[in-house]
Structure 1
Amino acid sequence: MVETAGCCGLLQACCHRHDPQKYIIQGEFEIDRSPWFSLCASGLSVAVRLYSRDNMDPTTRKGIESENAYVMKGKELERKKHEVLSMKVPTKVIKFKLKFEVTRDFGIPGAFVVENRDKKHEFFLKSVTLHYIKHPDFLEERKFHFYCSSWVYPINKTGFKRIFFLDQLYLPKKTPDSLKELRKKELHKLQAPGSKGEWNPWDRIYDYDFYNNLGDPENGPLYDRPVLGGSTKFPYPRRLKTGHPNCQHDHSRESGPASCFKFYVPPDERMSDEKLQELKNNLVEALIRFLAPESTLQHLWDRECPDFITKVAHFFVPKAAISKKDVEFIRSIIDFCRKLKLPSSHGGPSMSDPSEEQDIFDDIIGFYADKEVEELDDSDKQRLEKLVPKEILNQVVATLALKRQHVSAQLPSIIAEEKFAWAEDREFGRQMLAGTNPVRIRHLKEEALFQEEVNLLLYRIWQKMVAYASESSEDSVPAVRQEMESIKRQFRDWFKKFQVQQEKKSNQPQLEEFFEALENERVFILDHHYLEQFLTMINGKGVRAYATRTILIAPDSSSVTLQPVGIELSLPGDSSRLVVPQDTLLWEIAKFHVASNDTAYHQLVSHWLQTHAVVEPFIIATRRQLSVMHPIHRLLDPHFKDTLHINALARAIFLNAGGILETLLFTGEYSMELSSHLYKEWRFDKQALPEDLLERGMAKRRVRDEVVSGPMEHVERDKSSNKAATGTEQKMFEVDAEVELVLEDYPYAKDGIVIWTAIETWVTEYCNVFYHKDNDVKEDEEIQEWWNEIKTRGHKDRNEGWYDINTFESLVKALTTLIWITSGLHAAVNFGQYGYGGWPPNRPMLLRKFLPKEEEVYEEVNIMKFVEEMLPDKFQMKLAIAVMDLQSRHTSDEVYLGQTSPQKEWPLIEGHDSIIQKSSKNSRKTLKQ
């Protein structure tokens, strides 16, 4: 049971005599992560003043004010301690009760200001709950909630009092007159116009800047990187401005802080100390688990029972009959048995001759084994010093030096059941639909096949298949030649008029399957040919990369996978190489190169660019242009949690010059340039899941009873008769189109459409509470400024793909798209990374050898040695596994889609409480199914 002790908080403390002409409002203030409060001796350290929502002071044009109340030294009501992994981080939650004297016409409190007069310490204000004491018009049970969740710094540092608003949402024109001035004042502070110099931890400034802090030119030309954003050559979304000083010798570049954990992030955007420590601990554990070498000391079992083997042997045989040599022989047998491979999925030991070509993969599997580890190798330690923050490396070294660590790791799901399932063609194709990067595969629709290079690629694949088929069946050669001539004549018409006349033969099943797929438009492409223009710069320094194009076919529309049938590998200024499955060893090696291309695209574009970088301008604009009282601010806020801080960490550790991604990916120092190049293709209107699927040809649009290919056309609707919704059953507009998937089993799309629909339904019903007609959207000045700033400042380099938000429908579409990007899309490309990428041969980040020449393949070549020399070195593979492990983890404070943060329940909207609560509940129910 929580105690209710504490001072009254009035100006003259407990001895103050209450004015009978005034009412008393009592409030409970909950303060978190502020241990200094329990030691605070001053009775005037924090002053609080209330503002009326209902009545305005004509002089100040703000709500009528209360008397000041002061947080005084009181009794700590509640203490909590959170344990984060092995480290205990004390977190105090303190509650104070304050009382305010207000005039009889004060009405409902709509806002309050806090003045922190302590000269050294900040505190985190979680929430405030107010209620009247003995008011004739307000029952004491009626509570007025303020969900603050914000840092309050000393006023001698900030120069501003902090403003907090009642948890009541208003469109700008619906804001009570008494709160309008405060609403504008708070937004103006966040925009901080004219701010100059280096910003401090207590500043609450949101502004835009270029990506001019990835390089470190003062450390030498090897660390110089171009500025991304603000040019046609290197377009990019804007990032949060940090206010750090420019480099001494190049004022277009920003210098970094002394530590990557000391860069500027607005206080309320920082992740909690507990979460930050949890992330650090996760990184330390991953580095120890995968990079620390196995102990060379005696096995733990042998150390604990040094004479166990001898005792067991003597139990069966008299001591005099066993020599020391016999004991050593028995021990060698036990050691051999200990090294046996785990049973295969078919049962029985998977014993194999050491000379068989599996050694490299067995060696990699050793990374995950239960083992005791010792201190890092000097070479690995030196390489890590350049990649991870000093405090992280120090923690790794200290942990290993403190005591011997026993570590274990769960096998990545891709090899957990069958060690070599990942190498099969069908699994290779399945991962294009259900792996870590299911957003790049495209369907070769009829209109796309008029591209000369795609036509040529398909034709070359067909030719090569025909050649292999003709070698196995001499009597089919004339028919094959006849078909070849026919296809040559009619290829540009995409086989529409071509009918396969050849008699079906059992020795040509793949050729016939290919013909059938062509005729029925079941051909797909994974295109990474954009890499060709970068390869001259990339290849070298131990990296060997191609620009690949992979053709896959679906045996039928309900196929559970895609079958790869051809891979084109290109180098600049060189004729491309084409490999088909019948090329056997070359085919297996070519798939490594495709996976490497796809991994780089996944890390730099699908994950970083499309779910982190492009979202940052939306967050900045939301803070600058949408008041916390705006319903759309409240709707979006949970989806922005910690993103600015995470992005800043990514720029400082992963994306920086010489950082982790440049070390691991074959794109190296050109990684972010490549990301900039592919940003040229990004359009906001195509980020909506249905539009994305239609654009890639992975879905068709069904309008009434007709299926239509291609992106959805904008359908004008007459909204003149729209009226306010009175319940969740009434919709603002009728959906007249639905998406039909081209492939029945496309998990990303199939599950994604369910999530997209749930988001869209929730957003529609939520917005319906506040916007009753299209004109409400047009007249919402904050929304209009928000959207304009996103287009003209945050994404200034991308002029295409934007639409006006001047109707209810366009607002819902934009919000649904943004929430989808930050939730469903991000989860799809992030949390499965360890399951697939945690096994480096399945998703190699770089390769060190080109394909061997065809004549070399048939010579006596040690293929396992070739693969070992082609894959990244062991340090790179182990670091990649550690990074995949880190990125795939959920943190302890995760809030999942459909959930509501405990600190921010949905506010009570006058007249619409049941609608909001019911819609939120229905959304959660849909997502759980």
Structure 2
Amino acid sequence: MVETMGCCGLLQARCHRHDPQKYIIQGEIEIDRSPWFSLCASGSSVVFRLYSRDSMDPTTRKGIESENTFVMKGKELERKKHEVLSMKVPMKVIKFKLKFEVTRDFGIPGAFVVENRDKKHEFFLKSITLHYINHPNILEERKFHYCCGSWVYPITKTGFKRIFFSDQLYLPTKTPQGLVELRKKELQKLQAPGPKGEWNPWDRIYDYDVYNNLGDPEKGRLYDRPVLGDSTNFPYPRRLKTGYLNCQHVDHSRESGPARCFQFYVPPDERMSDEKLQELKNNFVEALIRFLPPEPTLPHLWDGECPDFVTKVAHFFVPKAAISKKDVRFIRSIIDFCRKLKLPSSHGGPSRSDPSEEQDIFEDIIGFFPDKEVEELDDSDKQRLEKLVPKEILDQVVATLALKRQHVSAQLPSIIAEEKFASFADTEFGRQMLAGTNPVRIRRLKKEEFSLLMESFQKKYQGNRNDLKALEVDVEEAIKASSAFILDHHYLEQFLKMINGKGVCAYATRTILIADERPYETIKPVAIELSLSEDSDDGCSMFLVPENDLIWEFAKFHVASNDAAYHQLVSHWLHTHAVVEPFIIATRRQLSVMHPIHRLLDPHFKDTLHINALARAVFLNAGGILETLLFTGEYSMELSSHLYKEWRFDKQALPEDLLERGMAKRRVRDEVVSGPMEQVGRDKSSNKAATGAEQTMFEVDAEVELVLEDYPYAKDGIEIWTAIETWVTEYCNVFYHNDNDVKEDEEIQEWWNEIKTRGHKDRNEGWYDINTFESLVKALTTLIWITSGLHAAVNFGQYGYGGWPPNRPMLLRKFLPKEEEVYEEVNIMKFVEEMLPDKFQMKLAIAVMDLLSRHTSEEVYLGQTSPQKEWPLIEDQSIIQKKFKEFRENLEAIERNIKERNKEYILMNRWGHAKIPYKLLYPDTSKPMPPISKEKGKHQPEKMDINERGIPNSISI
């Protein structure tokens, strides 16, 4: 609710007459999320002072200052006071009027400082809008807007006043003289080292640190982890420094953490709102409740006559054999990790609980009986959860279950929502490498590489040599046609001796895949190599072709397990969350809020530092959730450090990534006229910096042509990339008129240098100088792509594919069986049961996938702006609003294009056997969140696939 409160707005608690020799500037401030302000702010508790933009005080070298203005409480506030105290009126946003007296030579207000003199309370300053009254040269209609969006803590705690600048944006060399000194002073505060001892919530400190807070050696050797970063053996991007003291015992290089999980330090402006944090907690609690409670005691359908589909499933494991009632337990062990519930289709179709449909056990295994009260957690599950989730989360789970809550629902994972057996098909296995949760690892197989592989295959293959020769011929033909590919997880071999054991059995795999001829282009595996460390006594290294259905299916499990670990640790965490964090720190330290690039990037950094801190505290920590779920266990982060050695910023640009992996070829735009948007052939060379500039590796006239036209991630991604690049180019055109403007931008140069030499100090390769307009655009486009399109592609499909653990098992507990054991049915049943993760691990994995795949109600999507941070509409920069509107329209056109492609069933990689349309790169710039229901402020049940929500601006989950 918005209320306007009265205010005297002058120096003293009583009004005084206006000095006719001075001008009046008045306006209003918006205070958000601060009930204290509406109730208690009075007298001289909050003080404002304006600074001139153009007129400088020669003594202070700052803009001429106005007189102080105090926020005062008026009669209208007194009338509302009782209502606020009784909590009948939620004071979400409060508006106060302000009035400043300034000298006649004051000119345009460019900045203001605010001093919070209250000793206890902070408030969230949302914005201030000002205008002159009766100025002879400045129209009253002209507004001076300050988008603040920041917490203002008591000066007794912070020791300094907060400064805010107007929405007008300036390159450093173009800064008005009245703001030059203030601009430098504000950056110096953010760069200053923090105080000794533990940092406080009001400290605004941005500094770098290594990953020395994942382990807890004081708990014992099992919780000891290597420090990641500033090391040749363990290189890593830097994280945000938190100021916590190092451990007092055992290892003084390790940082101790806060007493409670959610109390770690994050700069106040980087913290997510209390509402969003609570929503994330609630989502986590609901996910655990949805999937973790024990099986209801009602009779299970397995106890009845064995349905026909069980026989079909069995045929994937036991060819030409019917499965008996007593053998049904091996399948039940795979899927008996959830409850019975009739659910809607995950694609928003008609309800799948129609009793007229054939009895469908796959509908019965997700969720709860709708007429059955939720039971308490098993004691063993509760004990395991106590070690994995924060205490306040577990307490909320237990408290909710104690209330006998009913009707907890969930969508079926997309992989089984329409076709129950799709994940067993080879073509579906291959399709997921192009359109699943990890479509960024597959690459084209080269002839030289295949020749070396064949030497290894010859040693490991134990089958018919004619099959091996036929494979060699087929692959060589596919290589010539650029339709042979490889999914390489062989890097695991050096870790297997450490990883295998303690109930984990892992191979290092290499999988060769071949695509069919166009127009279908379905891709399927034709050979799998499974390797162990040379001195291993467990299992055996081997090479397989799809001649034995059972062994082949088990081998695909191991490949999927390798890929799932790579996805979580590298594609998702390292290549998005971790690598972006140093960019955010450098941006806050080196780019003024008045800098155009700071404003451009700011929406793409929303909540990232906070969500990364949460991840380190709950998911990545020693003995945490990922170490429990992934076969890589305690070596998980060490493995991601090893793969960081391959990371290069220049290859994170989507076109460069596709070219590097051989999934695309370079082509000249003039030769092939095609465009992802309705407006094609947009001329980017209009930028003045492009005129006469020498050619660089970032030639804007270059495009890529996909080797596989039906590669959904790449096809949709290139269109998104092009739209982002166009928007960034148009935006930068407003401020940079030639290459020299880029070279002389000292803040950009310091920003880029700090990223390379401090934030990513351990990676010397893959960087380039930002000394041309094109190089600046490419760097910014790459960064925005990582935070938006790339993260959306590797994050929001996790439940759709990983919510069915047999499709993406995170660990396996058995090596492949020996050939002579394959058709002994009893052993097979026991083998499958023992091969997959235990029931607790599968249930927890589903809950985590559900949590990570959900968007929050505060999400701001690509092509949208936060209501608090609209683009400036003053002076010559009003063109930005127009260009941003074009960006949004381009994204909407792209979404229409994607939806049209998703209607083409001939594009099998967009649907596959699972019939899952590729929705992860829907820009979705217009679709609202589901309406809020009246029950406890919760969203109504989703009627659309949770993958269909769009591309968030930032890495915020």
What is the TM-score when the length of structure 2 is the normalising length? 0.82
AA at the equivalent of 2:111 = A
Q: 1:685 to 1:2 in 2, by over 3 A?
A: closer
Aligned counterparts, 1:21-170, within 5 A: 21-40=21-40, 42-74=42-74, 75=76, 92-170=92-170
Contact 1:290–1:879 (CA under 8 A) maintained in structure 2 = yes
AA at the equivalent of 2:130 = L
Take 1:358 and 1:838, find their aligned partners in 2: how far apart are those partners?
17
AA at the equivalent of 1:532 = E
Shift of 1:455: 3.8
Instruction: Name whichever of 587-596 and 858-867 sits farther off.
Output: 858-867
Aligned counterparts, 1:846-865, within 5 A: 846-865=811-830
Question: What secondary structure sits across from 1:669 in the alignment?
Answer: helix
Does the alignment pair 1:441 with 2:439? no
Question: What secondary structure sits across from 1:268 in the alignment?
Answer: helix
Contact 2:582–2:755 (CA under 8 A) maintained in structure 1 = yes
Contact 1:522–1:557 (CA under 8 A) maintained in structure 2 = no
Shift of 1:192: 1.5
- Residue number in structure 2 paired with 1:913: 878
Shift of 1:868: 1.6
> Which of 744, 747, 756 is 1:791 aligned to?
756
> Which of 305, 316, 333 is 1:360 aligned to?
333
- For each residue in 1:275-320, what CA deviation from the matched residue of structure 2 results, as whole angstroms up to 9, or x when unmatched? 0000000000000010112444xx7xxxxxxxxxxxxxxxxxxxxx
Shift of 1:360: 3.3
Does the alignment pair 1:405 with 2:406? yes
Contact 1:687–1:817 (CA under 8 A) maintained in structure 2 = yes
Take 2:104 and 2:869, find their aligned partners in 1: how far apart are those partners?
31
- For each residue in 1:500-556, what CA deviation from the matched residue of structure 2 results, as whole angstroms up to 9, or x when unmatched? xxxxxxxx8x88754532442321000000001111111111111110110100122
Does the alignment pair 1:215 with 2:215? yes
AA at the equivalent of 1:28 = E
Contact 1:294–1:373 (CA under 8 A) maintained in structure 2 = no
Contact 2:194–2:243 (CA under 8 A) maintained in structure 1 = no
Shift of 1:449: 4.3
Contact 2:5–2:95 (CA under 8 A) maintained in structure 1 = no
Question: What secondary structure sits across from 2:732 in the alignment?
Answer: helix
- Residue number in structure 1 paired with 2:360: none
Take 2:723 and 2:606, find their aligned partners in 1: how far apart are those partners?
20
Q: 1:232 to 1:362 in 2, by over 3 A?
A: closer
Question: What secondary structure sits across from 2:618 in the alignment?
Answer: helix
Take 1:783 and 1:775, find their aligned partners in 2: how far apart are those partners?
12
Contact 2:295–2:338 (CA under 8 A) maintained in structure 1 = no
Contact 2:788–2:862 (CA under 8 A) maintained in structure 1 = yes
- For each residue in 1:327-356, what CA deviation from the matched residue of structure 2 results, as whole angstroms up to 9, or x when unmatched? xxxxx999989998999999xxxx996345
Question: What secondary structure sits across from 2:232 in the alignment?
Answer: coil
- For each residue in 1:397-418, what CA deviation from the matched residue of structure 2 results, as whole angstroms up to 9, or x when unmatched? 1111123433222110000011
Aligned counterparts, 1:10-29, within 5 A: 10-29=10-29
Shift of 1:91: 6.0
Does the alignment pair 1:527 with 2:488? yes
- Residue number in structure 1 paired with 2:234: 234
Instruction: Name whichever of 140-149 and 112-121 sits farther off.
Output: 140-149
Shift of 1:419: 1.3
Question: What secondary structure sits across from 2:119 in the alignment?
Answer: coil
Contact 2:444–2:483 (CA under 8 A) maintained in structure 1 = yes
AA at the equivalent of 2:442 = I
Contact 2:689–2:772 (CA under 8 A) maintained in structure 1 = no
Take 1:669 and 1:614, find their aligned partners in 2: how far apart are those partners?
21
Contact 2:291–2:338 (CA under 8 A) maintained in structure 1 = no
Take 1:239 and 1:151, find their aligned partners in 2: how far apart are those partners?
23
Shift of 1:864: 3.4
AA at the equivalent of 1:544 = C
AA at the equivalent of 2:103 = T
Question: What secondary structure sits across from 1:924 in the alignment?
Answer: helix
Contact 1:212–1:226 (CA under 8 A) maintained in structure 2 = yes
AA at the equivalent of 2:530 = L
Shift of 1:90: 5.7
Q: 1:743 to 1:235 in 2, by over 3 A?
A: same
- Residue number in structure 1 paired with 2:85: none
Shift of 1:89: 13
Gaps of 5+ in 2: 81-87, 314-321, 340-364, 673-683, 692-697, 894-957
Question: What secondary structure sits across from 1:15 in the alignment?
Answer: coil
> Which of 548, 564, 570 is 1:599 aligned to?
564
- Residue number in structure 2 paired with 1:498: none
Contact 1:461–1:580 (CA under 8 A) maintained in structure 2 = no
Take 1:462 and 1:542, find their aligned partners in 2: how far apart are those partners?
27
Shift of 1:874: 0.5
Take 2:574 and 2:5, find their aligned partners in 1: how far apart are those partners?
51
- For each residue in 1:855-896, what CA deviation from the matched residue of structure 2 results, as whole angstroms up to 9, or x when unmatched? 211334443332121000010000000000000000001011
Shift of 1:445: 2.9
AA at the equivalent of 2:546 = P
Take 2:247 and 2:89, find their aligned partners in 1: how far apart are those partners?
37
- Residue number in structure 1 paired with 2:429: 428
Contact 1:242–1:264 (CA under 8 A) maintained in structure 2 = yes
AA at the equivalent of 2:688 = K
Aligned residues: 826
Take 2:819 and 2:129, find their aligned partners in 1: how far apart are those partners?
76
Take 1:34 and 1:725, find their aligned partners in 2: how far apart are those partners?
49
What is the TM-score when the length of structure 1 is the normalising length? 0.85
Take 2:312 and 2:823, find their aligned partners in 1: how far apart are those partners?
32
AA at the equivalent of 1:281 = N
Q: 1:77 to 1:63 in 2, by over 3 A?
A: farther
Question: What secondary structure sits across from 1:369 in the alignment?
Answer: coil
Instruction: Name whichever of 2-11 and 460-469 sits farther off.
Output: 460-469
- Residue number in structure 2 paired with 1:478: none
Take 2:35 and 2:860, find their aligned partners in 1: how far apart are those partners?
26
Take 1:51 and 1:338, find their aligned partners in 2: how far apart are those partners?
82
Shift of 1:586: 0.5
Take 2:34 and 2:800, find their aligned partners in 1: how far apart are those partners?
40
Contact 1:360–1:864 (CA under 8 A) maintained in structure 2 = no
- Residue number in structure 2 paired with 1:831: 796
Take 2:481 and 2:202, find their aligned partners in 1: how far apart are those partners?
62
Take 1:577 and 1:912, find their aligned partners in 2: how far apart are those partners?
64
Gaps of 5+ in 1: 80-87, 300-331, 470-483, 485-507, 708-718, 727-732
Take 2:70 and 2:670, find their aligned partners in 1: how far apart are those partners?
68
- For each residue in 1:671-713, what CA deviation from the matched residue of structure 2 results, as whole angstroms up to 9, or x when unmatched? 0000000000000000000000000000001136889xxxxxx
Instruction: Give the greater-gyration-radius structure (CA).
Output: 1
Aligned counterparts, 1:366-377, within 5 A: 366=339, 367-371=365-369, 372-377=373-378
Shift of 1:78: 13
Take 2:828 and 2:746, find their aligned partners in 1: how far apart are those partners?
66
Take 2:776 and 2:571, find their aligned partners in 1: how far apart are those partners?
25
Take 2:383 and 2:32, find their aligned partners in 1: how far apart are those partners?
40
- Identity in percent: 81
Please report the RMSD computed on the Cα atoms of aligned residues, expressed in angstroms.
3.0
- Residue number in structure 2 paired with 1:893: 858
Take 2:626 and 2:775, find their aligned partners in 1: how far apart are those partners?
37
AA at the equivalent of 2:230 = G
Aligned counterparts, 1:307-322, within 5 A: none
Shift of 1:923: 1.1
AA at the equivalent of 1:262 = Q
AA at the equivalent of 1:183 = R
Shift of 1:193: 3.3
Aligned counterparts, 1:477-492, within 5 A: none
Take 1:761 and 1:124, find their aligned partners in 2: how far apart are those partners?
35
Contact 2:482–2:707 (CA under 8 A) maintained in structure 1 = no
